[in-house]
Amino acid sequence: MAEGLATTHDQAAHPALQHHFENMEQQREAGTLGMWVFLVTEIMFFGGMFLAYTLYRYKYPGAFAAASNHLDIRLGAVNTVVLIVSSFTMAMAVFSTQVGKRRNSIIFLIMTLVLGLTFLGIKAVEYSDKYRDNLIPGQLIPGHPFNPAVAQHGDADPHKLHLPEGVSVHNVEMFYWIYFAMTGMHALHMIIGAGILTVILILAWRGRFSPEYHSPVEISGLYWHFVDIVWIFLFPLLYLLGRHLEGHM
Amino acid sequence: MQSWFHYIVPESASTISGDVDAVYFYISGVTVFFVTLISLVIIFFVIRYRRRNAFEIPRPIEGSHKLEMLWSVVPLIIAMSIFAWGAKVYFAQYRPPQNALEVYVVGKQWMWKFQHPTGQREINELHVPVGRKIKLIMTTEDVIHDVFIPAFRIKMDVVPGKYTAEWFEATKPGRYHFFCAEYCGMNHSGMRGYIEVMEPKDFDNWLSGNANQMSPAAAGQAMFESLGCVSCHGANAEGGRGPALLGVFGSNVVLNNGQTVRADEGYLRESIINPQSKIVTGFGPIMPSFQGQLTEEQLLSLVAYVKSLSTAKPETPTAKPPAAGTPQSANPVKN
Amino acid sequence: MEEFTIQPPRTNYLNAEYGVKSWLLTKDHKRIALLYLGGVSFFFLIGSLYAMAIRLELLTPQGDLTQSSTYNKIFTQHGIIMVFFFLIPAIPATLGNFLVPMMIGAKDLAFPRINLLSWYIYMAGGIITIYALLAGGVDTGWTFYTPYSTTFSNSYVLTTGVGIFITGFSSILTGLNFIVTIHTMRAPGMTWYRLPLFIWAHYATSLIMILGTPVVAITILLLAFERLAHIGIFDPAAGGDPVLFQHLFWFYSHPAVYIMVLPAMGVVSELIANFSRKNIFGYKFVAFSSLAIAVFGFLVWGHHLFVASQSVYAGMIFSFLSFAVAIPSAIKVFNWTATLYKGSISYDTPMLYGLGFIGLFTIGGMTGLFLASLATDVHLSDTYFIVAHFHYIMVGGTLLAYLGGLHYWWPKISGRMYPEGWGRFSALVVFIGFNLTFSPQFVLGYMGMPRRYHTYPVDMVSWQVLHVLSTAGASILGVGLLIPLIYLAWSLRYGRIAESNPWHLPGLEWQTPSPPPTENFLETPIVTSEPYEFAPPETKEVVGKFERQTPAEAQW
Amino acid sequence: MSEHIVYPRVYVGIFLILLAGTGLTVLAAFRDFPGPLNAVMALTIATIKATFVVLYFMHVRYSGRLVWLVIASAMFWLAIMFALTISDYSSRGWLPI
Ligand code: HEA
Ligand code: HEA
Ligand code: CUA
Ligand SMILES: [Cu+2]
């Protein structure tokens, strides 16, 4: 079955070529495909939570709308914009590396990183608001159970939950549980992404990337954009779902 | 039951157990056929074409589309025949019967509580008449359990937070095992008991021998008052701020989103525990949720009461018909 | 091919480097395969000890060996260890890791570092789980049904869950590595239709690993939080639905049973073709049936929920699809059988295991039909019938194929031959012991004996008899499994030195020294022929024509 | 698979589309559309936004068939998970218990 010889490594192998690949093209292809396959696993991972969200939203529409309306839509929207800008700068960073503009690529990477951290900062503000309003579900934080103040009729205090008559706080808790599970997982991915970006940034600083070899930048970009996409879905599903009912409640 | 058969085939004592066995034996036949066929062919080939000398190289053989078709289509047809038959019997197994005697079942770690429509309670043992359809309406106070009666070939999980049901009609008097067939913790294997199938006349005797207990519907009515349901639904459930409950059970309820749902026990339960999920058209979502305030047995009583308000009522049990609303005492005691 | 024997080079992957560090930091897929072999065998031993404890307890109807709570932990831990730490990684991470690059003519997997990482992840998950078992054990059943697992069990559910969660990632990474490797690293000339069926099977397995495992990961994570924070998505007391847990769990765990059996089918395809010196009958059908199983396998999970209060109509859909998924398996069984036709069949140990697989898998698979059929599943669900069904496939099928594959590639892996006589003898003992252990359980299940039962009623006379038979069988099976353990270890030192191609086969992995050098091949192979090509394609026969082959033609 | 370079003006265009989409979805959310239309619109806008990110920022538009296949299979499996699970939940009430 095996006959003859095949050439091994190209004559002047690139220093970044790993020993088990034939050439840079193969190495790059493997890396990109690997990241895409990994993103598939991520889609399925988040998919499980989206499924739970769908079912319970259908089951407790009133509680979900009321709980969602209590989220801070301004912070959510700002964060959406922050992430979109960061996706843009990430794309620009990839472009700059592709055309060999090292300085630009470093600037764009730094911007992406800063925007990512901004997102996390805003998220932290939101979480602490929830903490203040006793909206952390269950005993997620020991000694600080889910126990929000419910607004009485005519009470406009924004820190209180505004529940339509008959909606059980119990089911509001379910919403918050899903909210924290999904945004928490998303934030975790952001943190990992920020870590990856830092590494890439250091490598770029040291001048490791070139128009011939930049697949690490590209692959990290794929990951970053994916995390952005998750948020593109989370934002309307979590923050916007009950807004149109606000007047009626 | 005399022969050795008794040792490898379970007792068959319900109207559907014969149908299930028929499917079982059909699949057994298919299995034995294919396993024998394949084994014999393999044994034949292995002997006939054994390697006779170390250097022999057989001629390669091209695959055959005709054969591939044959051995995918034939199994497919057989498989579909099993599917169709199995589904048909299953549907009969699970379509709730009309006019069944309804027994409420509550499982908890690790015992079974039964309550007859006439109020008699039993633990880990259930007396039923032969030749009557019995429907078990089941729920649990803690984890998932399962009522499995091998002799009747039925089994259904008992799931916390909702009602499930199974039914049977016993064909032979006798004492049959039932088991908890969903793993539920330490004493799972001890959560078993007997179904005592009796002649109708013996059953009536048994019932009247244990008669002086409040029927679930009567207990439910008392709670309907004590929990304040009357304030919205009216003292005789004739309606008020909330809809009238007379005749609701078994009817098709129109919801405010335009859908209609059938008001079965599950719907009644949901209306009390989680009223928000389905709002009756013409009413606001004002009914408070009673989640966490009622034991499963109390809930079952409430449901039984609302059911008793329907004309499409299950027919009265053989023994003393319960007079809904007679007792004065308030909350029934949880046993 | 006989003409030029490859001289074994002085260095091979085993002696290229020495020392513990050279193993623990290796990036060579072959060494990682051996690391996995060590881990997997260790967990199999533990799981087996639990199995023996189960069988001993069930000798009598009363629970006189252990407490109920202990028994519950025993079968739970048996199931968890065997499924997550033995059977899922067994073939892919050992044989697959070793052979996927060799069979496609690559120097290594695409991401060697990730490959090593996956082993560490696997061991980390394993150690955490073992810790949980030692600290107090877990008693939820391997299925972790809520709300028992979240609210009611007092055992180490959380720790075990974390262990399984972590191990899941090793599975994902292995699958990812295989997919990328098979796509991008095939040797020149290695087209898709020239891939050995072992590779097709592993490709299909990897698909399931990457598409299914993340879902069980998130499910277990949610479960862990629920246990930790006492509020939850699956908790009826909080308005959650326990059946949703079952949906999510089985969305992975049904496909996972195909993770367990597909690689075994790949091994068996190799064994059947190579030990009858024939190209496989209907190559494309066998190859694509693997993919079909991977895809259809995702459509049938609801057959585990027939009596779990799933809607009757969903039950019908899932039942229908379960019958459909049986067809690709049927295609494989028939093609293997047809491959034997007019072959030159040897009775070497691997082939005995391969043939045993076909028979036992067929029984296991056919009894799956009883469970896929709604009416009978109602009666058989959660009884010993199920226990028998899956042991027939997982032990009679996969374990046998694994042993067959281990013997088959042992010369390549270790450079030594195993003792053939002992091999055949133990294969026979395993086969007999196995059938005696698990066939009585079919009867038990039909009689109504529920699974996960510590005690059973005394008045069911035949039950104890059947249990005693089963335990007797398990003892024989245990002996049968102990023998290979001993002689394989023995052969490492005393076995006959293996040639590079002891079975005289055309596969790429045999065209390199045994044990292979670190780079697998002395030079990158170029592939010019179909797999399993023992004789020139011109001589190909079309089935249906029955000319005799002349002795001259039959020469090597 | 040789590399394709996407130029900044494309990126800027996509960026603007994404911003517009975000604005649109917020505006739409505050208006009450009949029936499930609110949810449908929100999801449609999100899907369109995601598609632009995938096609341009992630270069899929210029990638080989394999990447398309990978994405398609992810969508397909996600759809399986949703469709079959919902088939259970939506048909539960069809038969009274
Ligand atoms: C490797 C493991 C493996 C494999 C491959 C299978 C394969 C199959 N399984 Fe099995 N199964 C398990 C492991 C496995 N199973 C486990 C572990 C459980 C229990 C889980 C638990 O609850 O703990 C289980 C439980 C289980 C159930 C749930 C029962 C219940 O809980 O109520 C069902 C129901 O449909 C089922 C069906 C099937 C079917 C139809 C196949 C099919 O894929 C089989 C296809 C094969 C064949 C059909 C044989 C070859 C074909 C022929 C020889 C041709 C003739 C064919 C026809 C006429 C159709 N299995
Ligand atoms: C890969 C999977 C796998 C394997 C290989 C096995 C192997 C075996 N299993 Fe297991 N089993 C499961 C997976 C597996 N099982 C699962 C998933 C469950 C369900 C758990 C649950 O309900 O949650 C289960 C449940 C289960 C039960 C049901 C328990 C119950 O419901 O109450 C029983 C009962 O007989 C059983 C028996 C056996 C036996 C006798 C073997 C034998 O094949 C074992 C053979 C091995 C030996 C006999 C040991 C050989 C000896 C050595 C290699 C050396 C050992 C060293 C010393 C003794 C020093 N198993
Ligand atoms: Cu109750 Cu098992
Ligand atoms: Cu299954």
> Which protein residue has the closest C-alpha to ligand 2 atom 21?
C141
Distance in angstroms (rounded) separating the CA atoms of residues B45 and C74:
43
Phi/psi for B147 (5° steps) reads -100, 115
Distance in angstroms (rounded) separating the CA atoms of residues C153 and C168:
23
Q: How much is the pLDDT for C244?
A: 94
Residue C300 Cα to ligand 4 midpoint, Å, equals 7
Q: Is the pLDDT of residue C315 over 70?
A: yes
DSSP-based three-state secondary structure for B262: strand
Phi/psi for B55 (5° steps) reads -105, 5
Residue C258 Cα to ligand 4 midpoint, Å, equals 9
pLDDT digits (tens, 9 = 90+) for C82-107: 999 999 999 999 999 999 999 999 99
Phi/psi for C516 (5° steps) reads -70, 160
Sign of the dihedral defined by the CA atoms of residues C418, C419, C420, C426, in that order: negative
Residues of B with Cβ-Cβ distance to A66 under 8 angstroms: none
Q: Are C329 and C250 in contact (CB under 8 A)?
A: no
Q: Which residue shows structure tokens 């109509």?
A: C313
Q: Among C317, C96, C46, which Cα is nearest to C206's?
A: C96
Q: How much is the pLDDT for D34?
A: 79
Distance in angstroms (rounded) separating the CA atoms of residues A227 and A192:
10
Q: Which has the higher per-residue pLDDT, A21 or B143?
A: B143
Q: Are B156 and C37 in contact (CB under 8 A)?
A: no
Q: Is the pLDDT of residue C548 over 70?
A: no
Sign of the dihedral defined by the CA atoms of residues B132, B135, B141, B143, in that order: positive
- pTM to 2 decimal places: 0.92
Confidence of residue A75 (pLDDT cuts 50, 70, 90): very high
Q: Which residue shows structure tokens 């609210």?
A: C151
Among B39-43, B203-207, B325-329, C65-69, where is mean pLDDT lowest? B325-329
Q: Cα–Cα–Cα angle for C175, C176, C179, nearest 5°?
A: 85
**Ligand 1 pocket, mutate which of C257, C325, C380, C402 (most atoms under 8 A from CB):** C257
pLDDT digits (tens, 9 = 90+) for C111-132: 999 999 999 999 999 999 999 9
Q: Are C204 and C290 in contact (CB under 8 A)?
A: yes
Residues of B with Cβ-Cβ distance to C540 under 8 angstroms: 59-62
Q: How much is the pLDDT for A12?
A: 58
Paired sense of beta strands B252-254 and B121-123, if any = unpaired
List, in order, residues 6 or more apart from B262 with CB less than 8 Å away. B250, B251, B252, B253, D93, D96
Q: Among C226, C253, C218, which Cα is nearest to C242's?
A: C226
Please compute the mean of the pLDDT values over residues A90-99 and round it to a whole number.
Answer: 93
Paired sense of beta strands B252-254 and B260-262, if any = antiparallel
Q: Is the CB of C521 under 6 A from ligand 1?
A: no
Of C345, C358, C381, nearest to B51 by CB-CB distance is C345
Q: Does B19 contact chain C (CB < 8 Å)?
A: yes
Distance in angstroms (rounded) separating the CA atoms of residues A99 and A211:
6
Q: Is the CB of C90 under 6 A from ligand 1?
A: no
Q: How much is the pLDDT for A6?
A: 40
> Which protein residue has the closest C-alpha to ligand 1 atom 39?
C368
Taking an 8 Å cut-off on Cβ atoms, the answer to whether C305 and D81 are in contact is: no
Q: Is the pLDDT of residue B27 over 80?
A: yes
Helix (H) or strand (E) holding C372: helix C349-372
Distance of CA A131 to the CA centre of its chain: 21
Q: Which has the higher per-residue pLDDT, B210 or C556?
A: B210
Confidence of residue B327 (pLDDT cuts 50, 70, 90): very low
Residue B188 Cα to ligand 3 midpoint, Å, equals 4
Confidence of residue C386 (pLDDT cuts 50, 70, 90): very high
CA distances from B223 to B113, B215, B295, B305 (A): 20, 13, 12, 9
Helix (H) or strand (E) holding B138: strand B133-140
Structure tokens of D27? 């505006």
With a pLDDT cut of 70, the percent of chain C lying above it is: 95
What's at C67, amino acid-wise? Q
Q: What are the pocket residues of ligand 3 if the criterion is a CB atom closer than 6 Å to any ligand atom?
A: B 107, 110, 145, 180, 182-184, 188, 191
Please compute the mean of the pLDDT values over residues C18-36 and round it to a whole number.
Answer: 92
ipTM for the predicted complex: 0.91
CA distances from C340 to B68, B173, C243, C344 (A): 16, 55, 46, 8
With a pLDDT cut of 70, the percent of chain B lying above it is: 91
With a pLDDT cut of 90, the percent of chain B lying above it is: 47
Q: Is the CB of C194 under 6 A from ligand 1?
A: no
For C168-203, b/e burial (b = at least 16 CB within 10 A) is bbbbbbbbbbbbbbbbbbbbebbeeebbbbbbbbbb
Among A23-37, A150-164, B319-333, C214-228, where is mean pLDDT lowest? B319-333
Quick one: DSSP state of residue C541?
E
Confidence of residue C9 (pLDDT cuts 50, 70, 90): low
Structure tokens of C266? 């790949």
Q: Is the pLDDT of residue A103 over 80?
A: yes
Confidence of residue D97 (pLDDT cuts 50, 70, 90): low
